[in-house]
Homo-oligomer: A and B are copies of this chain.
Amino acid sequence: MASTQSERRIKIGVLGASGYTGAETLRLAARHPNIEIAALTADRRAGEPIASVFPHLGGLDLPTLTKLDAVAWDTLEAVFCCLPHATTQEVVAGLPAHLKVIDLSADFRLRDTATYAEWYGHEHLAPHLQDSAVYGLTEWARDALADTRLAACPGCYPTGALLPLLPLLRDGLIDPDDIIIDSKSGVTGAGRAPKEAMLFGEVSEGVNAYGIAHHRHTPEMEQELSVAADAPIKISFTPHLLPMNRGILSTIYVKMANGGGSTELRQSLLKAYADAPFVRVVPQGQAPATRHVRGSNHCLIGVFDDRVAGRALVISAIDNLVKGSSGQAIQNFNLMFGLPETAGLEQEPLFP
């Protein structure tokens, strides 16, 4: 990395800066050595300083929030899209071609636009862009990211499920027809829009499953798992809402494909992520915990033999707002601009 490159400042815009992924992108981008935050949008809060939307960022010298159409696109090199699902396709389609786009929404994650229409309930609004979009699970798309203009950052649940499963499927170690993913998530994945179900009084001191058998992150997972297995895969995926802000723990139940056990699974994972700065296979016997990744871009993975013969468990922990969203977006940005993968992401987890 030449000194000139390491000192380069890339002007970015954050579109949809008033939600949680917006806030988290700002938190990370503000301290990124190669980023200058030059534009912030939030249609309903246009005209306000970021401090009135996010008092915790009030000490930063950031641009005032504007409407989308007030951005001087030609001054920017890249945009992070933190807009709601289903609004991003049109926005991205309208952006000047010189801009690199890191999209945190679901709008460009599904390669098959028919599948998109089926799960999201409307036609894809920018199908001509879909082909050039790279599904940005960083560790599995480094080369493609270096070449793309448009990174579709994975959903939080897919990130936590795919990182442990892709190597195992690729290496043929597990039965592709018997994968059960039981995920436990904090509330921030649901965003900042006021909904009764997300009130403190409704969430605290309790747990429930939701989106059973029809959560929209399912096709994303199946898309990538099918590539790794080289065969169509259907999974059983059940998300749960927990009384915590951040974190996704995915407990994944698998059947061994041809003998073997946790030792073989561990080997596969260690090899797959030997050079991955943010993915760590925890020591044998340790169980990953979301509190050990809070605020960081880390993904922890643990592997266990089940007591039922031929079965094993793989457990992963991520912070849904970092590796599951804004952190992975920064990581993808780094690769898209030829920066070190870890730039701006080197904070340790915050515990307790």
Contact = CB atoms under 8 A, between A and B. Distances in A.
Given A245-B200, A251-B182, A306-B213, A207 B350 contact: no
A276 to B, nearest CB: 11
A290 B198 contact: no
Given A244-B206, A307-B214, A291 B56 contact: yes
Contacts of A317: 208
A199 B200 contact: yes
B54 A245 contact: no
Interface in A298-342: 298, 300, 304-308, 311, 313, 315, 317
Contacts of A288: 208
Contact of A289 (B207, B236, B298, B305): B207
A184 B240 contact: yes
A60 B346 CA distance: 11
A312 B333 CA distance: 41
Contacts of A94: none
A301 to B, nearest CB: 12
A104 interface: no
Copies per complex? Answer: 4
Contact of A206 (B240, B294, B304): B294
A347 B349 contact: no
B192 A194 contact: no
A30 interface: yes
Interface in A193-221: 193-196, 198-210, 212-214, 218
A60 B298 CA distance: 12
A55 B307 contact: no
Given A59-B280, A187-B199, 10 more contacts: A56-B293, A58-B280, A180-B253, A207-B291, A208-B287, A209-B315, A212-B313, A234-B308, A242-B243, A295-B295
Interface of A: 20, 23, 26-27, 30-31, 51, 54-60, 180, 182, 184, 186-188, 192-196, 198-210, 212-214, 218, 234-236, 238, 240, 242-247, 249, 251, 253, 280, 282-283, 286-296, 298, 300, 304-308, 311, 313, 315, 317, 346-352
